[in-house]
Amino acid sequence: MELKFLHILTYLSLALVASHAALPVTYWNTKLPNTPMPKAIKESLQPSGLTEDKSTSVDVGKGGVNVGVDKGHRSGGTNVNVGGHKGGVNVNTPGGTHVGVGKGGVGVTTPGHHGKPPVSVGVHPGPSPFVYNYAAKDDQLNDNPNVALFFLEKDLHQGSNMNLQFVKNANGAAFLPREEADAIPFSSEKMPEILNQFSVDPDSEEGQIMKQTVQECEEPGIKGEEKYCATSLESMVDFTTSKLGNKVQPLSTETQHENTQMQKYTILGAKKMGNNNNNDKSVVCHKQNYAYAVFYCHKTETTESYMVSLVGADGTKVKAVAVCHKDTSQWNPKHLAFKVLKVTPGSVPVCHFLPQDHIVWVPKN
């Protein structure tokens, strides 16, 4: 009986490791057949540093079950420990992410570095520049790569030059399968419980950023905006298809190098995306700073999306997604875009490039 029980635990442990990527991918393929995943989604399906499995070993002993996946390097592989942990299941990936499943639910943490708290959720506190009802803080105009991403629609043409910097969010948080994400609270009322579950000090910078992310998700959108914070890939797909239908095309910015320096870029060409009947509709999803992958998604009318080819002064090539907002009359007058471009709400169309870990969904041709 004991041996049979251990075999069952071993099977469940291996299934748990595979499920973190397999379940969302299976749902994607079922809901959106023949729809390529953009790079931003692929990279959010697994913790940073997770690579292809090389071999798997299973050890069964008195302490329980241990499953180790060797990644072929010294940094370690995926480890699943069943038993010896008060009846729970613990999964550790080579990127450092720890997933614990036990009687108390599901917990996901990443180990700290140099004494920092266990969860790294980003280093840029302050309102997101892609939330349109927030006023920008004065310090957001300094040393913030997102500032350069805003531009006027009249500048979106071949030969136009812009000073830009494309950087990747330091938050490499991965998607959880929807069942696990739904089991974790996501509300301001539950913040003490959430922070405790992830071993985050409420007074730390990480704690403050996580609180801010949840608050932004709870704030009402501007007039004409339908917003939703997706805590799993499955929920992102469901929200998007409920607004645009099942024939959709997701796009993300891709650069030759993950992080580029601030430099002059020249537009080589721009192609409008979407179909002719619904070319003013899109759903844009912005990755938030959180302990696991959370995307702030919003659908707005009077928007147009473009795939823009650029080349930097140093030869770096970029395929960037640009979103142009035809009507900004409902935006906060102190929004970052108005400060950067020196225009007023509703006066001219405002565009912005998407960072590498953000996604725009448009109706498919």
User: Mean of the pLDDT values across residues 79-89?
Assistant: 39
pLDDT value, residue 181: 94
Q: Which amino acid is at 68?
A: G
pLDDT value, residue 132: 75
14-30: per-residue pLDDT in tens? Answer: 334 444 567 899 999 99
Residue scoring higher pLDDT (364 or 64): 364
132-170: per-residue pLDDT in tens? Answer: 777 877 766 666 667 778 999 999 999 999 999 887 766
State pTM to two decimals: 0.74
In the numeric block, the tokens 């147009």 are attached to 304
Mean pLDDT of the chain: 75
Q: Which amino acid is at 220?
A: P
What's the angle, vertex CA 332, arms to CA 331 and CA 336, rounded to 5? 95
Residue 90 CA to its chain's centroid (Å)? 24
pLDDT value, residue 311: 95
CA-to-CA distance for 172 and 168, rounded, in angstroms?
9
